[in-house]
Every structure is written in C-alpha cells, then in structure tokens.
C-alpha cells in the first residue's frame, strides 16, 4: 500500500522532532545547537504551509496574479462597463490592457517609459492613418483622433506635435505616468501609449459627447438643466476627491476646467487631461510643493501664483471657478462684457452678496423655486472654494458632501412642486365654479339641462 504524501510528511516531521528532542537532552550539545535545530524545524513547517496554501489558491481561485495596486479585478471592470452600458468588446479590451497596466506600473517606479503596448501600425489602422475625418480635437499638446481597435473598441488617440520639445515632452510623459496610477469611474482611462521615431501617442478612453464647455455654450447637445449640472458637479468632485485622498500617493490635477471635463452619452462627467498633474509632497508633514506655476488663466489659484506653493486646495479653487461657470453659463473671463462683469467670479460673487444670485443664473436654465435654491447654494459653495487663503477653503470631499445635500434638497422641492402643480391643474383654487366647468369640459353650465328620472 502506497503511503500518502501527507502521512509521510507528518512522520518525517515527527521523526525530526524526536531527533531534535533527543539531541536537546544530550548533555554534550550546547543550547545554541538546539536553537538552530528548532529554527530549522519551524522554517520547514512554514515552507510546507505556504506550499499547501499555494495549491489551494490555484485550485479555488485559478492562476490569477496581481499585476499591481492599479489593476482591479475583472469583476470590477465588468461592473464599471455595465454601469456605463459599454459593449463586451470594451471589456475584452480592458482585459487585453491588464498587462500594460502592470508594465507601466513598473515603469513609473523608475520614472522611465518603455515602448508601450501598441505598434505604429496598430495606430495607423485604428485612425485610418490619422484621417481628418477622425479628428475630434486640437490643443497645445497636439491633435486628438477617434480610433477603432481590431476588437471594435473606440479610443481617443492623442498625437503630439512633431519634434515636440521641452515642456510638452514632459507633459506627455507626465500624463502617462499619472494615468497609469489611477482608475475611477469619473476619470478617463488610459489604454496605452507609443513612442516611435518622432511620434509620441497616448491612447485613452473615448468619450464622444463633447466637453462641459461645449454643452454650456450650446454647441453640443441640448441645454443642460440644473439637475444634470448638479450630477456633473458631483461626478467631478468625486473624481478629484479620489485623486486627493484615495490614490497610493495624492495627485493634484492642476488644470480643472470645463474643457477638461468630458461628458458621456448619459450626461455624466469624466475628468481628463493630466499633463499638468503633480504628485503631492511625499513628506506627511509638508504643507505644500514649491513648483513653477502651471494651469489655465481664469482658473489659477491666486495664492499659488504669488507663492509658487501648490496644494490640493489649488484644485479646490479651480473647482470653485468651474461651479460658477456651471451656474452662470459664462466663461471665467468675458472680455466683451462691461468692465464690472469681465471677471465672472467677481461679478457672480457680488450678485450673491447683494442677495441677487438669481440675476447671475444662466438665462438658459428654467426658473423654479427648486432651481433658484440650488443655484444660490452652489454659488455659496463656490464662494468658499474661492477663498483667498487656502486654509479657508473646504476639501474636495466636503465639496462632494455639500453638493450631495444640495441635490437632495433640489429633488425634494422639485417633487413637491410637481405634485402641487398637478393638484392645482386638476383642482384650481381660483374661481372654483369656473374650474369645475373646465375640469368636466363644460364651457357654459347654463346651456345644460338636467332631466330627472
């Protein structure tokens, strides 16, 4: 009869223990030798335990390897896709790029970029050789094209300008390194990148419904109503809160603005463009980072501009400007308006202080008790975000919580208004007799004769 491996291991272990015990009882052996033997026995037991655990892990969990802290499980990715209504081909693409995430993760530790996970032929094929028909945007960084991968997944391909030098090259690398560290429903997802000859290309998630600024200007889609604007503001606050608090190392975006907020088909927001992003100070006791000023005019934190000291509260200031934009519909700087209205945040805050927040409200928004209340409360939050001193500004987490409360109040008032208007439509309070006639489609009751039985 064949002995089982477990029984053999047990007996061997017991024999070793007995032998060790006998040697320990030998007066000729030193205490040091006993300690060495005991340590060897413990080491053997630990090793055996690890092997058994590994076998059970393979049996029950399959050969799944953790690629990095960045990579999430397939189930998590699938849930994300299900919420967004993405296709199965997108899910396959995410699985395909898991190895890329691991590769970039290892690259970020050294600060060097490898070759990426796409070939130039893949990019040419996806964008039809950068066809003008696939061009969807352009900026200081370069041009953005719409692309379709072999599995049908839509992507946005950011192609840098030829012979890009200095700061733009650093922005290219910075965006890759930052995007490789993050994963959140309200942040654009990095699929891959490519450096080939004089080509520098980033492949990211495609969001095809324009940006927030285009929606506010009426260039893209229908007018965003206040409920939709509140949803978008909350999405942005969640994304930036994640960057500040829930990444392995806090990230400061440095360029929060409406043109960097992409809008999905379901009118939800995704924060994009991480070229200016910066990791916060590694020292927990540090209050700021000293760095050159980067950002967009109209959104820059004045304290950061004056002191060159960057903190998470600089993003909070930019978010305050964005909230004012969303409520007023105006750009941060309006050069064609009267002098007193050219700086939108100054004008809007003046209206708020004077109790005329309704006058600052975007004329495209429908007026109602609920909408008026929401606009005023959002502007009050913006006022706190725009405080001159960073210590006086709320955190992004607090902003998200306040916005949640505003949306809750808005919905409750809107529902009560709706039920009240429904009630008044069926049972008008004014002129009850006339109302009764209209309700029963009777134009002139005197013309009707009732015949008794």
Residue 322 and residue 237 in contact, taking contact as beta carbons nearer than 8 Å: no
Bridge partners, 251 (sequence order): 279
Strands (E) across 257-326 are located at 261-263, 269-271, 278-279, 289-290, 309-310
Residue 104 and residue 97 in contact, taking contact as beta carbons nearer than 8 Å: no
The DSSP code for 193 is E
Query: If we measure between CA atoms, which residue out of 271, 275, 252 comes closest to residue 260?
Result: 271
Apex 400 CA angle, 206 and 288, nearest 5: 90
d(CA 343, CA 354): 17
Bridge partners, 252 (sequence order): 278
Structure tokens at 154: 């839509």
- Residue that has been written with the tokens 């300008």 in this structure: 161
Residue 345 and residue 324 in contact, taking contact as beta carbons nearer than 8 Å: yes
Query: If we measure between CA atoms, which residue out of 173, 206, 199 comes closest to residue 119?
Result: 199
> Is the sign of the CA dihedral 246, 252, 257, 262 positive or negative?
negative
Spatial CB neighbours of 23, under 8 Å, sequence gap ≥ 6: 29, 33, 34, 37
Gyration radius of the chain over CA positions: 32
Residue 255 among the catalytic residues: yes
Query: If we measure between CA atoms, which residue out of 222, 225, 219, 235 comes closest to residue 137?
Result: 219
Helices (H), 354-395: 357-360, 369-385
Spatial CB neighbours of 146, under 8 Å, sequence gap ≥ 6: 127, 134, 135, 136, 154, 155, 156, 157, 206, 208
Annotated catalytic residue within 231, 235, 255, 362: 255
Q: Does 158 belong to an annotated binding site?
A: yes
Query: Which positions are annotated as active-site residues?
Result: 255
Residue list for the binding site: 158
Residue list for the binding site for ATP: 158
């Amino acid at each position: 009869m064949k002995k089982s491996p477990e029984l053999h291991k047990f007996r061997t272990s017991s024999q070793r223990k007995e032998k060790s015990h006998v040697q320990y009882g030998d007066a000729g052996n030193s205490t040091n030798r006993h300690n060495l033997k005991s340590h060897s026995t413990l080491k053997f037991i630990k090793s055996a335990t690890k092997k058994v655990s590994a076998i059970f892990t393979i049996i029950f969990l399959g050969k799944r390897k953790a690629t990095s802290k960045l990579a999430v499980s397939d189930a998590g990715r699938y849930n994300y896709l299900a919420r967004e209504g993405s296709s199965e081909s997108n899910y396959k693409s995410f699985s395909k790029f898991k190895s890329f995430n691991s590769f970039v993760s290892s690259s970020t530790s050294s600060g060097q970029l490898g070759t990426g996970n796409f070939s130039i032929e893949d990019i040419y094929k996806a964008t039809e050789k950068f066809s003008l028909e696939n061009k969807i945007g352009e900026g200081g960084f370069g041009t953005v094209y719409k692309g379709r991968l072999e599995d049908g997944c839509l992507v946005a391909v950011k192609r840098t300008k030829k012979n890009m030098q200095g700061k733009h090259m650093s922005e290219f690398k910075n965006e890759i390194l930052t995007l490789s560290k993050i994963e959140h429903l309200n942040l654009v997802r990095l699929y891959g990148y490519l450096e080939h000859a004089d080509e520098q290309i980033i492949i990211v998630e495609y969001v095809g419904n324009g940006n927030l600024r285009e929606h506010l200007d009426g260039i893209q889609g229908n007018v965003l109503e206040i409920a939709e604007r509140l949803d978008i503001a909350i999405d942005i606050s969640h994304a930036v809160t994640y960057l500040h608090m829930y990444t392995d190392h806090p990230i400061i975006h440095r360029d929060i603005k409406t043109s960097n907020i992409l809008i999905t088909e379901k009118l939800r927001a995704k924060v994009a463009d991480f070229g200016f992003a910066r990791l916060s100070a590694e020292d927990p006791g540090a209050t700021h980072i000293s760095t050159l000023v980067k950002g967009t005019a109209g959104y820059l934190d004045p304290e950061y501009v004056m002191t060159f000291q960057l903190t998470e509260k600089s993003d909070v200031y930019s978010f305050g400007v964005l909230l004012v934009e969303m409520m007023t519909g105006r750009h941060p700087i309006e050069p064609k308006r009267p002098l007193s209205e050219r700086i939108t945040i100054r004008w809007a805050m003046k209206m708020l202080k004077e109790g005329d927040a309704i006058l600052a409200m975007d004329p495209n928004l429908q007026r109602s008790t609920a909408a008026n209340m929401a606009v005023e409360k959002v502007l009050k939050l913006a006022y706190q975000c725009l405080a001159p001193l960073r210590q006086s500004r709320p955190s992004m987490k607090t902003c998200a919580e306040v916005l949640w409360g505003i949306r809750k109040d808005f919905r409750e008032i809107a529902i009560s208004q709706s039920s009240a208007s429904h009630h008044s439509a069926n049972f008008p309070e004014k002129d009850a007799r006339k109302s009764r006639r209209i309700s029963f489609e009777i134009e002139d009751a005197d013309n009707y004769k009732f015949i008794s039985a």
